[in-house]
Structure 1
């Protein structure tokens, strides 16, 4: 007896003290859940989704306080971001999925995959999840100052959904927390413990808030990651910088998604 493919759905999903704007294209294809950059929206994935096409089931959502619709919360922590992945997949009835994360979302994807090896079909980490010690007290102060100075501009852009509705202090704290999570002694064991096919797509040049060659130095940490864990390789190093990658070099991301999904099928 044939089963009915899940229908497409777009709406608000209540989660804890908030609600998330979720889009699920439905269908019987392999589910892919997309995890956004720290202050980005699900719209950033449109080129990847279009390139992969309708044979996949695409699930996107805006994190707490991001985009135009997701509600505010009292908790913007990294652990809350991980819980939201579970909440979205549970609500959409998805047991196993390919997990794709860009920037902040790559860190969430790596941790979620490490904690759920039986649920991640494969993982694509897009210019994020680099185990490198870039956070210290001086950097924390620099981040706090940057978000405080940017606040007037970000307030003007908030009605468009292009900037988060978090306060400058909340944005800074989220970024600082990520810095401590990124340190080699914290993130390294997470990456070493991943047991599913995992591919990095790596940008070139700078990212928001970085200076000089800071970002390229951070990316060098991948050499040790791939040497220690045979499940993880670098699928592509693309010419776009961090912010432009999903727009200009999206075919590298879609190729990596197809690769990890194929490898997962071969293993099963």
Structure 2
């Protein structure tokens, strides 16, 4: 069944999410953003995949063109994803999540195993800064960067939040990520990882490369998990510099689900 394109604000809880749906009859692909990013970061991946897919992207609360909210929790983001899928009548999507969005995809698929065709996880892995030392380090980083948030928000790189709210989101997702190993072990849908190289803002001394090795035993334990590509870009640049690798992972999943697109 073909669906008409739609762009607009979708009311959810006390906010409204800016949603873009290209419509069409192709396999639906739903894009899940990084912690503070907006949907614009997916433009190159969407262009690589082309019109054979139905592309659905949205800005999370206080990101991009979406409205502010009283709640920015991980659970709220799970509700937002559910609301977008329900409102747009999406069934059996491929979820493509970068960073925070990848972790969101794991947990949504774990809760709804019969409603997802598969996951493409772009440089997310189950590790994070936890405990009091981790919280202190994160809060110091975001307070030091607070002057840049208004500028970064206009570039789709930060949310319209205070420094403390940015830190709260980061602290929570680090804790969720660090506890996500069992979630990945029991996922029943196919999952393809596209991994970056090197560190990222706020990390140092090879921390992220070491963190990526946490996937190794999970790949052995769960045959549904596979690494599709390891690319040269770092965490921040992977969508802009290595969009073909992300698109290839989507095509690979679509083919395994009997919906190959040329």
Tell me if structure 2 keeps the 8 A contact 1:196–1:264.
no
Structure 1 pair 135/91, CA: closer, same or farther in 2 (3 Å)? same
Tell me if structure 2 keeps the 8 A contact 1:32–1:97.
yes
Pairwise CA distance, 1:162: 3.7
Pairwise CA distance, 1:158: 3.3
1:14 maps to what in 2? Answer: 11
2:222 maps to what in 1? Answer: 229
Structure 1 pair 157/251, CA: closer, same or farther in 2 (3 Å)? closer
Q: 2:107 aligns with which of 100, 111, 114?
A: 111
Pairwise CA distance, 1:160: 4.7
**Residue 174 (1) aligns with residue 169 (2):** yes
**Residue ranges of structure 2 left out of the alignment (5+ in a row):** none
Distance in 2, matches of 1:30 and 1:58, equals 8
Q: 1:245 aligns with which of 238, 242, 254?
A: 238
Distance in 2, matches of 1:197 and 1:157, equals 34
2:50 maps to what in 1? Answer: 53
Structure 1 pair 156/49, CA: closer, same or farther in 2 (3 Å)? closer
Query: CA offsets per residue over residues 43-68 of structure 1, 9 Å max, x none?
Result: 0000000000001000000000001x
Query: CA offsets per residue over residues 138-161 of structure 1, 9 Å max, x none?
Result: 121111111111111212343454
Q: 1:198 aligns with which of 191, 194, 215?
A: 191
Give the TM-score taking structure 1 as reference length.
0.94
Q: 1:28 aligns with which of 25, 29, 53?
A: 25
Structure 1 pair 157/231, CA: closer, same or farther in 2 (3 Å)? closer
Aligned residues: 259
Give the TM-score taking structure 2 as reference length.
0.96
Tell me if structure 2 keeps the 8 A contact 1:197–1:260.
yes
Q: 2:130 aligns with which of 112, 120, 135?
A: 135
Structure 1 pair 170/248, CA: closer, same or farther in 2 (3 Å)? same
**Residue ranges of structure 1 left out of the alignment (5+ in a row):** none
3-state SS of 1:124 partner: strand
Instruction: Give the RMSD, CA atoms, in angstroms.
Output: 1.3
Distance in 2, matches of 1:211 and 1:98, equals 32
